[in-house]
Structure 1
Amino acid sequence: MNRFALLISRGITRVTEAALGPYQSAVIRIGFAATWLLFLLREFPHRQEMYGPDAPWAWGLAQQLIANNHAFTALMWSDSQVWFEIVYALAVVSSALLLLGWRTRAMSVLFMIGVLSLQNRSIFMGDGGDNVIHLMSIYLVFTRCGQVWSLDARRARRTDDARARGELPRATGADRVGPVLWAVLGLALAVATGAGRLSGGWLAVFWGLWAVQGLWWLVGRRARSAEPRILLDIVANTVHNAAMFVIMAEACLIYSTAGWYKIQGSRWQDGTAVYYPLHLDYFSPWPALSDLLASHGIMVMLVTYGTVMAQVAFPFTLFNRRVKNVLLGVMMVEHAAIAVILGLPFFSLAMIAADAVFLPTPFLRRLGGWAARARRELSSRRGGTLPGPRKQEPRTEETTEHTHVGFTA
């Protein structure tokens, strides 16, 4: 009984004392922000036909659907061309800033608004990859995904270094952008609420997120003791870890359901399912390559059965780290092949980003080191100078300095 109580105590401590998976949450943030950004940029010439006034799913039809399912989309606030361009630009800018890790708390919310606004406007335009982005954009709001590999983390390090050199008073908050951004977003939220554009659950969600950030800044700036700040850190860590668990469960659910549904299909049972999409013009960006693969029956059968087995087995491999890492690499290679052979790059990028939550931390650390060395070498070739390598520990602006907390990691 004492051992069981000790295990429970250790588990609670581990969940609350730190935001777990800082590198995994960072790569998820970068992956999904990059996927959505690239998609928006590629479809920029066709944005009117997909989500704008010229969309086949007319604004009136979308309005009727939203009235029934109560989904959120800012594009239903007005049918004007100017408003559509503003929302589309907001989606592009928020994706880019979230990718860079600038004010990740605020950008994650704006990123979610952009994703939901466009996808819920024309629900028949999406595929499986869009559904994954749709869900992950919501989950990212509750993560501390800017602890590493972000402008927020770099700003926090520089602030700490300045304080260590005595350049900044310890009790003075140096950040002014965060509170200003918080005030601007609050004003925009008040205008939308006053105009009757928000109601019900979404009204509570957005005002709740805004109020939590204000409370965090107020406690960090005004609290005379450390207890309130510690309590907020515990809550933030718990929410982050719960969101990361949901992301992992979602990835497992996607693969397991896809695998078990495939088992029920006759084409997957006889090993010919992969043959048919290779002969569809819509999924053949490289016809010669598709014909070459389809001409080898053994290869088609192995890929068909291998796909089903990998998807069904993946959730169970999480109990063995080595097997999981091997199968994870296989799944990522498979998605990369789908991107090239079937012409589904954004679906594949979305799935690879979802898979990244299971990547081992040592590998991600090495990956970050390789990227930093490549950046320094590129800068040196151009005649620039960069400081030597420095180990980047998972941290947030909130955990390093509570007196200037804004919309950060």
Structure 2
Amino acid sequence: MNGVALSVSRGIARVTETALGPYQTAVLRIGFGLTWLLFLLREFPHRHELYGPDGPWSWGLARRLTGDNGAFTVLMWSDGRVWFEAVYALAVLSATLLVLGWRTRTLSVLFMAGVLSLQNRSVLVGDGGDNVLHLMSVYLVFTRCGRVWSLDARRARRAAAARERGERAGDRTGPVLWAVLGLVLAGATLSGRLVGHDVEWTVPALLWGMWLVQALWWAAGRRAGGGEPRVLLDVIGNVTHNAALLVIMAEACLIYATAGWYKVQGSRWQDGTAVYYPLRLDYFSPWPALADLLAASGTLVMLLTYGTVMAQVAFPFTLFNRRVKNVLLAVMMTEHAVIAVVLGLPFFSLAMIVADAVFLPTPFLRRLGGVVARGRWWRRPAAVPGGSGVPAQGTAEDAGAARVG
């Protein structure tokens, strides 16, 4: 019993004292932010037809649908063209700043609001990757995804260095941003746009909750320094982060498991010909010669069909063996890259590759970050308390991150 109690105690300590997987969540932040940003930029010339006032899915139809299902979208606050342009521009800006890791606590919320607003405005626009992005944008809000590879990390290190020199590290941008967003939330709430009979309470409650958490975090850091209130908030933040990370992993496994088991029930997947048919569709053939080359080989089509099913069904079970998991992870990412090129679904594939990246080993991500960044501020984080802090190399934070990989 002593051994069991000790293991449980260590597990609780890990979950409460450490935000696991800082590199994995940084990859999710950068990957999903970049996926959404690239999509918005690519569709910028067509934005009015997809999400705006010129689309076949009119504002009135969207109003009726959101009134029935209670979906959150700020585009229902007004049908004006200026309002739509402002929301679209803010979605682009929030995605850009999230990729850079600037004020990630706030920007993750704004990023979620942008994703939900545009996607819930036109529910018929998407290719499957939008569903993944939709879910992950909500989960990211609960993670401490700015602890590495971010401008927040650099600011935290500079603040720590200033405190070591005996200087006072002030932050004016954070309180101003918090106050402005509070005024926006208050105005939307009082006008009945944020909370009404046709809007579910979940997203508005999350927006207000995160705004209040920001106030508590600032007050704890300013009034109590490094005392018990800040320690308590750190524990709550770590537990919330780790729970969200677990949900993200479970979601990725669920996507593959359900896709694989549904494929098993299909006759075309059973006879090994399912991959052939999308290769013959003009709509999914940006490179017809390449699609024809793949479809011409019956053996290759059969191997791809059966291999896809086996990989998707087996993926959740491979997580118990690190080496097998890493091999199958490389196979799945390669498969999505091939889908992006052959079938012309780049954003669906990119969203799935980013979701897969949560299972990548931490040593690999750290080496990759060092190669890509080529800057010391990416590779030498310092331990700083708080949600924007960064784990130090060789600390318990990295040890916890390594266990995730």
- The Cα shift of 1:95 comes to 0.1
Question: 1:20 is matched by which residue type in structure 2?
Answer: L
Question: What TM-score do the two structures reach when normalised by structure 1?
Answer: 0.91
Residue 273 of structure 1: CA displacement? 0.4
Contact 1:142–1:239 (CA under 8 A) maintained in structure 2: yes
CA distance in 2, matches of 1:394, 1:128: 39
2:380 pairs with one of 387, 391, 398: 391
Q: Give the partner amino acid of 1:219.
A: A
Distance 1:90 1:277 in 2: 36
Letter matched to residue 171 of structure 2: D
Paired position in structure 1 for 2:73: 73
In structure 2, the CA distance between the partners of 1:390 and 1:314, relative to structure 1 (3 Å rule), is closer
Change (3 A) 1:400 1:128: closer
2:148 alignment partner in structure 1: 148
Report the alpha carbon displacement of residue 399 of structure 1 after superposing the two structures with TM: 7.1
Q: 1:198 Cα deviation (Å)?
A: 1.1
Cα contact 1:153–1:396 (8 A) shared by 2: no
Q: Which residue of 2 aligns with 1:207?
A: 208
Question: TM-score, structure 2 length as denominator?
Answer: 0.92
Provide the aligned length of Structure 1 versus Structure 2.
Answer: 385
Q: How many angstroms does 1:35 deviate by?
A: 0.2
SS of residue matched to 2:30: helix
Query: Structure 2 residue aligned with 1:178, among 174, 190, 202?
Result: 174
In 2, the alpha carbon distance for the partners of 1:188 and 1:388 equals 35
Question: Structure 1: how far apart are the matches of 2:45 and 2:174?
Answer: 34
Superposed CA offset, 1:244-273 (max 9, x none): 000000000000000000000000000000
CA contact (8 A) 1:144 1:240 kept: yes
1:97 aligns to 2:97 (yes or no): yes
Q: Aligned partners of 2:363, 2:184: CA distance in 1, in Å?
A: 42
| Partner residue in 2 for 1:198 | 194
User: CA separation in 2, counterparts of 1:251 and 1:389?
Assistant: 27
For residues 120 and 400 of structure 1, the distance between their equivalents in structure 2, rounded to whole angstroms, comes to 34
**What residue in structure 2 maps to residue 131 of structure 1?**
131
Query: Following TM superposition, by how much is the alpha carbon of 1:395 offset from its aligned partner in structure 2, in angstroms?
Result: 5.3
Matches of 1:225 and 1:339 in 2, distance apart? 48
- Residues 400 and 84 from structure 1, CA distance in 2 versus in 1: closer, same or farther, beyond 3 angstroms? closer
Residue by residue over 1:340-376, the C-alpha shift from the partner in whole angstroms, topping out at 9 and shown as x without a partner, is 0000000000000000100000000100111133xx6
Residue 44 of structure 2 aligns to which amino acid in structure 1? F
Q: Is the 8 A contact 2:72 2:117 kept in 1?
A: yes
Q: CA deviation at 1:390?
A: 5.1
Q: In structure 2, what is the Cα distance between the partners aligned to 1:361 and 1:287?
A: 39
Amino acid at match of 2:61: L
CA distance 1:400–1:95, shift in 2 (3 Å)? closer
Give the deviation of 1:83 after TM superposition: 0.5
Q: Distance in 2 between matches of 1:231 and 1:316?
A: 36
Q: Which amino acid aligns with 2:331?
A: V
Map 1:326-405 → 2, pairs under 5 A: 326-373=327-374, 391-393=380-382, 397-398=386-387
> Which amino acid in the other structure matches residue 177 of structure 2?
L
Is the 8 Å Cα contact of residues 146 and 387 (structure 2) preserved in structure 1? no
Indicate the residue corresponding to 2:267 in structure 1: 266
Per-residue deviation, residues 154-205 of structure 1 (Å, max 9, x unmatched): 1111122233234x13xxx411101110001001111111111011333322
**What does 1:17-166 correspond to in 2, within 5 Å?**
17-166=17-166
Q: CA deviation at 1:145?
A: 0.1
Secondary structure of 2:149's counterpart equals: coil
Distance 2:225 2:42 in 1: 51
Inter-partner Cα distance in structure 1 for 2:388 and 2:150: 15
Distance 1:388 1:107, change over 3 A: closer
Specify whether residues 238 and 37 from structure 1 end up closer, same or farther in structure 2 by C-alpha distance, changes over 3 A only: same
In 1, the alpha carbon distance for the partners of 2:115 and 2:225 equals: 40
Gaps of at least 5 residues in structure 2 are: 196-200, 391-405
Contact 2:273 2:302 in 1 (8 A): yes
Deviations 1:321-355 (A, max 9, x none): 00000000000000000000000000000000000
Matched residue, 1:383: none
Distance 2:21 2:346 in 1: 26
The alignment status of 1:293 with 2:294, answered yes or no, reads yes
Give the Cα separation in 2 of the matches to 1:150 and 1:163: 20
For 1:89, the aligned partner's letter is: A
Whether the 8 Å CA contact 2:157–2:382 is kept in 1: the answer is no
Q: Could you tell me whether the CA contact under 8 Å between 1:31 and 1:350 is conserved in 2? A: yes
The separation in 1 between residues aligned to 2:115 and 2:240, in whole angstroms, is: 22
Q: Which residue identity lines up with residue 164 of structure 1 in the other structure?
A: E
Q: Tell me: CA distance 1:299–1:400, structure 2 relative to 1, closer, same or farther (3 Å).
A: closer
Partner of 1:322: 323
Give yes or no for contact 1:23–1:394 (8 Å, CA) kept in 2. Answer: no
Q: Is the 8 A contact 2:153 2:389 kept in 1?
A: no
CA contact (8 A) 1:285 1:343 kept: yes
Structure 2 counterparts to residues 274-289 of structure 1, below 5 A: 274-289=275-290
State how far apart, in whole Å, the 2-side matches of 1:361 and 1:19 are: 14
Pair 127,137 (structure 1): closer, same or farther in 2 beyond 3 Å: same
Hey, what does 1:235 align to over in structure 2?
Answer: 236
Pairwise CA distance, 1:389: 8.3
Alpha carbons of 1:395 and 1:222: their partners in 2 closer, same or farther (altered >3 Å)?
closer
Q: CA RMSD in A?
A: 1.6
CA distance in 1, matches of 2:37, 2:174: 24
Aligned residue identity for 2:42: R
Whole-Å separation in 1 of the counterparts to 2:206 and 2:389: 27
Percent of pairs identical after alignment? 73
Label 1:163 to 1:58 Cα distance change in 2 as closer, same or farther (>3 A). same
